[in-house]
Structure 1
């Protein structure tokens, strides 16, 4: 190790309370940098990343519907106010909600024609966004990163309600 590498490592060790803290803060900073690129793409079409994720999940079961509780459990990140998220999408006519007569407590949602159209319109921009975010990494490094991230979150996952990326 060169003297400069040793000095940099020593400075980093002194800046953090633990290696775990350093890793966590690096994850957080990385998320923040990558999210800026994503926010720009979704902002152009008036969606949040969570709204986009919800529409994609509904498209995956189209033409069927999905109960709102199941939809909420399959989102990449928790939606603290699922009702508001769905209200906004319904107001834009991107999804449809209905209560089943046999069980009025269950609300089911399905993607609407306009929601399918919006996903088709934004598809290429989302793919380009992912290339901007991580396209500088080769496939081997990306696969290693996926594996490490799964290992990091695995003990904290709700095995009864896995996100679609962990199924």
Structure 2
């Protein structure tokens, strides 16, 4: 099964274990998928984490504290503040200080951010379909379940910090 990956990587020896083959395969696939998403997001002037912030805000439908947004991101980012700064500069989000705790800032999606996401919905869905083209719906569900199972035995990213 991993022979194709070994050839792709021009590996002279076989993988040391099935676990190594699985992890390297996941990393290689993640790299390919990240590259494809980066290309798509670049067309709209966004990075993957910026898109993710907008998506989180749209899904929630109400302002969220910066740290709450950071905890929901798909990938870890070192500085949520600079990420929000860039989106705010483009007038895609708006930030307001909490009246009860002045250390907390709430971020909300502005109409321009919503419009940008709306424009991106179809291309993003098409990319999801393209990236899963070789898999049936059942295989996609199985893959999602297996990845969830693999993640479940590891601490959440917030616990690693």
Q: Same fold (TM over 0.5)?
A: yes
- Runs of 4+ in structure 1 off by over 6 angstroms are none
The equivalent of 1:34 in structure 2 is 33
1:44 to 2:48 alignment: no
C-alpha displacement at 1:159, in angstroms? 9.4
Paired residue secondary structure (2:42): helix
The equivalent of 2:133 in structure 1 is 135
The equivalent of 2:145 in structure 1 is 147
The equivalent of 1:122 in structure 2 is 120
Query: Contact 2:76 / 2:157 at 8 angstroms: preserved in 1?
Result: no
Q: TM-score, structure 1 length as denominator?
A: 0.83
C-alpha displacement at 1:77, in angstroms? 1.2
Paired residue secondary structure (1:119): helix
Query: Contact 2:70 / 2:80 at 8 angstroms: preserved in 1?
Result: yes
Residue deviations 1:90-120, cap 9 Å, x none?
A: 1100000111122101111000110000000
| Structure 2 stretches lacking a partner, 5+ long | none
Task: Indicate the larger mover: 102-111 or 18-27.
Answer: 18-27
C-alpha displacement at 1:36, in angstroms? 2.0
Distance change (3 Å), C-alpha of 1:36 and 1:92? same
Paired residue secondary structure (1:17): coil
Q: Distance in 2 between matches of 1:52 and 1:140?
A: 28
Paired residue secondary structure (2:107): strand
How large is the RMSD of aligned CA atoms in angstroms?
2.3
Map 1:1-167 → 2, pairs under 5 A: 14-62=13-61, 64-158=62-156
Q: Distance in 1 between matches of 2:51 and 2:157?
A: 24
Q: Distance in 2 between matches of 1:113 and 1:85?
A: 18
C-alpha displacement at 1:15, in angstroms? 3.2
Q: Distance in 2 between matches of 1:14 and 1:70?
A: 45
C-alpha displacement at 1:135, in angstroms? 2.3
Q: TM-score, structure 2 length as denominator?
A: 0.86
